[in-house]
Structure 1
Amino acid sequence: MAVPLPLSAAPTGAEYLRAILCSPVYDVAQVTPLQQMNKLSERLKNIVLVKREDRQPVHSFKLRGAYAMIAGLNEQQKAGGVIAASAGNHAQGVALSATGLGIRSLIVMPLTTPDIKVDAVRNFGGEVLLYGAGFDDAKAKAIELAEREGYTFIPPFDHPAVIAGQGTIGMELIQQDAHLDRIFVPVGGGGLAAGVAVLIKQLMPEIKVIGVEPEDSSCLAAALNAGQPVELERVGMFADGVAVKRIGDETFRLCKEYLDDIITVDSDAICAAVKDLFEDVRAIAEPSGALALAGLKKYVKQHNITGERLSCVLSGANLNFHGLRYVSERCELGEKREALFAVTIPEQKGSFLKFCQLLGGRSVTEFNYRYACDKDACIFVGVRLTGGQSEKEEIISELQNGGYQIVDLSDDEMAKLHVRYMVGGRPAKPLRERLYSFEFPESGGALLRFLQTLGTHWNISLFHYRSHGTDYGRVLAGFELDERSPEFEQHLKQLGYACHDETDNPAFRFFLAG
């Protein structure tokens, strides 16, 4: 077993370098691959390399810092056990590290922690105490128990030994590729960014190290602006692995001195990066794990970077599986490959068809509508983009020239989170209405064909369509019809799509029927 070097309260860069080079983390941690992302490299006109920390035994880099600190405890501290507060990756890193060293570990986790994370800590040999409504409550309890019961508290980022452990990633990066131009690292509490930056700047200062933060959790940016660590009033929880209100004191000192730059990204950009990682290297990253790649992509675009060797750290893959639904919904918006609009069209037969014809051959990704009055209809529509912002502006111009009122909702967070699912309601007057569900092979013009066959003969009173990127598209549509309409039945056969009468569906009757 390697023996960690002691560190002073505020170590110099040279002290950190020695501690990183002599780190004992490889007793439990793996040297993770640095993998090229071929598709993204071609798209960005740079060589993009991803450091696969999701390959660690705990699927996160946090193991490195936890082990480095625990291995450096004296015999009395080891005998007393260790304690930590965490709802995620740090908890698993502490549990596995302590178990490997034969030390008792207790992890205080909020009561709301998902079972999968609690079970993971127990599987790594840690004891779990569920306490409090959130991380702050759990941390306060852990510190109280440490003082009362004699445990040693293992902080998630703000400790020299933890920082040195995380810095081993920087050492591996330059061993794996000594020709890197820039390294992008995620920033939560700053332990990873500080460790990588201090190592790189001691050995290869020409390599730029850039920190990446979510826009709604940018505690390092706030601290740099204020000149000292400050507490954010609130943080966004989508990238919960980096949802930290206050940067650490020591991590701030190091980041301020050694980081070359920082950049912030929004949730949609993170979702796009999750998709990039899956499509390129088949990694399924948690949002905070894809943060650095999201920052890399934005930085390249902002600074017109080409022909460089760029690396980013995929910091973790402990993903709540159900979160993939949100990622899938938002990734196209993050890549500027989809636009969302609210469009007012005349409430008359053929309006849907004319609207789609104005869009030309563009793919409609979503179409929500519910009858409200006899004059105008307001529809919620998504359109796939191949030309980015310029194509979106072109669509807006074409629709306005066609006489439509249009509002761009692509950057409206409430519209993306809530309104798109709430479009509709009950009609303002009684309707003789039949409801049908349709399924058809996804192809260019499939939705247009649907409207050309049915949309000009009967008034459509309700319409919902959302492309999920699968082989089959699904439409829910309401029509103003008599109880029996042989002509309508004939057009259904002509359409040739699988369909089902949903008029008596209880959800329709309860929420949408007149």
Structure 2
Amino acid sequence: MLTLESFKAARSVLQGVLRPTPLIYSPYLSKNCGNSVYLKPENMQATGAYKLRGAYYKISTLNSEEKDRGLVTASAGNHAQGLAYAAQAAMVEATIVMPTTTPLVKVNNTKDYGARVILHGEVFDDAAELAAKMAEEEWLTYVHPFNDLTLATGQGTIAYEIFQDLPDVDAILVPIGGGGLAAGVSTLAKLLNPHVEIIGVEPTGAASMKASLEAGHVVTLPTASTIADGVAVKTPGDLVFPYVQKNVDRIITIDDSELVDAFLDIMERHKMVVENAGLLPVAALRHLGYEGKNVVSVLSGGNMDVITMSSLVQHGLIQRGRIFTFAVQLPDRPGSLLAVSRILAANNGNVIKLEHNQFVNINRQSGVELRVTLEAFGLDHKAQILSALREEGFHAVEADTGDFYN
């Protein structure tokens, strides 16, 4: 069971193991949502995520026989790295089954910590099925990534640190995948202060915990479709579910497009890389429904590969109108391109990419297609530039920006 005594034991074991992740006040996010917002940066943890807490504490509770058999688990990445790191420290062999869609940085980091990695299936549930089979057939000690109360106890130590840094915290937002983090943090937080509000945050495309809470029992979603791979779980844990049911006050669901915005906010305002699952509590700040509270968003991890990062940056800039492409038909005669350039310069449009195609059609009066990708200050500036072009007689049409880096 998750008790105050077990949380104290976990805190004792983890002292000196964890990297300090003190709360960071965010003036920008506070202004945007009307609350005093603090970030709990578990993306700065030793393995880049909070999962080290539960994995290290779990291994500390295993007996010699369980350790000697070797460990096996399934993970979309962060638990894999946490368990591999903790197993290496305890000199225990570990096998990790990861979905084939796991970002490369998570796979390589897990291998670097000395674990054997097997890629299997498209989502966590597929990997978990193989890991459970290996535990039975190879007599390995199975360490579940979230459906384990000992593991959840280790994760819950985050609440101790939040209350230490911010004793008058009013609300704590945590991402939910399988429910281990939410169960641990919510239970300890309520033990420390029954009045604190605990808000779980899930992606709309993989809201298995919300569906389970509404049904009153654990349910399995037919699919888990979200860019937040760390919480793409179709079935939450049945062991941790009762604690979530009792201690999490409500669930907020977030569309993937909101995570793109949150990524830019955290990167530009706080110079931190936070993975999509960890961005859920940031995106949820706009949906709280109240103001004037002390709110903590738990940034669960920051293990993101550079390809995903570049994609998020590109989509975010396009989404905010800071990058856009327009196409316009020009007469095939000298000076046409110069006329467009003057309008762009007068309106402070910064050209990133330009394509001037004379072979679109044989009508020389409108035979040149000009496609320009611009940097702007935002949606209003973008509208200003397009309006200026149209006022000068150019039928500028917004086009697919595509990959503006190429």
TM-score, normalised to structure 1, is: 0.66
Deviation of the 1:288 alpha carbon = 0.5
Aligned residues: 369
Deviation of the 1:258 alpha carbon = 1.0
Deviation of the 1:117 alpha carbon = 2.3
Partner residue, 1:92 = 81
Q: Structure 2 residue aligned with 1:434, among 368, 376, 389?
A: 368
1:347-393 alpha-carbon deviations (Å, 9 max, x no partner): xxxxxxxxxxxxxxxx995546799xxxxxxxxxxxxxxxxxxxxxx
Partner residue, 1:316 = 301
Partner residue, 1:19 = 6
> In the alignment, does 2:291 pair up with 1:306?
yes
1:65-115 alpha-carbon deviations (Å, 9 max, x no partner): 111111110011111111111231111011001001111111122345443
| Counterparts in 2 of 1:238 and 1:112: CA distance versus 1, 3 Å | closer
> In the alignment, does 2:232 pair up with 1:243?
yes
| Counterparts in 2 of 1:111 and 1:219: CA distance versus 1, 3 Å | closer
* Distance in 2 (alpha carbons) for counterparts of 1:463 and 1:243: 34
* Distance in 2 (alpha carbons) for counterparts of 1:235 and 1:163: 22
SS, match of residue 87 in structure 1: coil
Letter of the 1:292 counterpart? P
Letter of the 2:294 counterpart? R
| Counterparts in 2 of 1:80 and 1:268: CA distance versus 1, 3 Å | same
Deviation of the 1:125 alpha carbon = 1.6
SS, match of residue 156 in structure 1: coil
Deviation of the 1:437 alpha carbon = 5.1
Q: Structure 2 residue aligned with 1:124, among 84, 109, 113?
A: 113
Deviation of the 1:251 alpha carbon = 1.6
1:199-231 alpha-carbon deviations (Å, 9 max, x no partner): 011111111111111111111110111110000
Report which structure shows greater RCO (CA 8 Å, sep ≥6): 2
Contact 1:265 1:298 in 2 (8 A): no
Contact 1:186 1:212 in 2 (8 A): yes
* Distance in 1 (alpha carbons) for counterparts of 2:396 and 2:318: 28
Partner residue, 2:251 = 262
Partner residue, 2:27 = 38
Partner residue, 1:378 = none
Q: Percent same amino acid at aligned positions?
A: 34
Bigger CA radius of gyration: 1
Extract unaligned runs of 5+ from structure 2: 331-358
Contact 1:194 1:251 in 2 (8 A): yes
Letter of the 1:19 counterpart? S
| Counterparts in 2 of 1:75 and 1:293: CA distance versus 1, 3 Å | same
Contact 2:389 2:396 in 1 (8 A): no
* Distance in 1 (alpha carbons) for counterparts of 2:402 and 2:94: 48
* Distance in 2 (alpha carbons) for counterparts of 1:292 and 1:438: 37
Deviation of the 1:439 alpha carbon = 7.2
Contact 1:81 1:103 in 2 (8 A): yes
Extract unaligned runs of 5+ from structure 1: 1-10, 339-362, 372-425, 475-514
CA RMSD of aligned residues (A): 3.1
Q: Structure 1 residue aligned with 2:163, among 136, 157, 174?
A: 174
* Distance in 1 (alpha carbons) for counterparts of 2:98 and 2:189: 34
Deviation of the 1:235 alpha carbon = 1.2
TM-score, normalised to structure 2, is: 0.82
Partner residue, 2:207 = 218
SS, match of residue 239 in structure 2: helix
| Structure 1 stretch displaced more, 157-166 or 256-265 | 256-265
Partner residue, 1:327 = 312
Deviation of the 1:187 alpha carbon = 0.6
* Distance in 2 (alpha carbons) for counterparts of 1:233 and 1:198: 29
Contact 1:51 1:312 in 2 (8 A): yes
| Counterparts in 2 of 1:181 and 1:235: CA distance versus 1, 3 Å | same
SS, match of residue 22 in structure 1: helix
| Counterparts in 2 of 1:369 and 1:139: CA distance versus 1, 3 Å | farther
* Distance in 2 (alpha carbons) for counterparts of 1:431 and 1:461: 18
Deviation of the 1:141 alpha carbon = 2.2
* Distance in 2 (alpha carbons) for counterparts of 1:454 and 1:440: 19
* Distance in 2 (alpha carbons) for counterparts of 1:462 and 1:31: 51
Partner residue, 1:159 = 148
Contact 1:31 1:172 in 2 (8 A): no
Letter of the 2:124 counterpart? F
| Counterparts in 2 of 1:101 and 1:168: CA distance versus 1, 3 Å | same
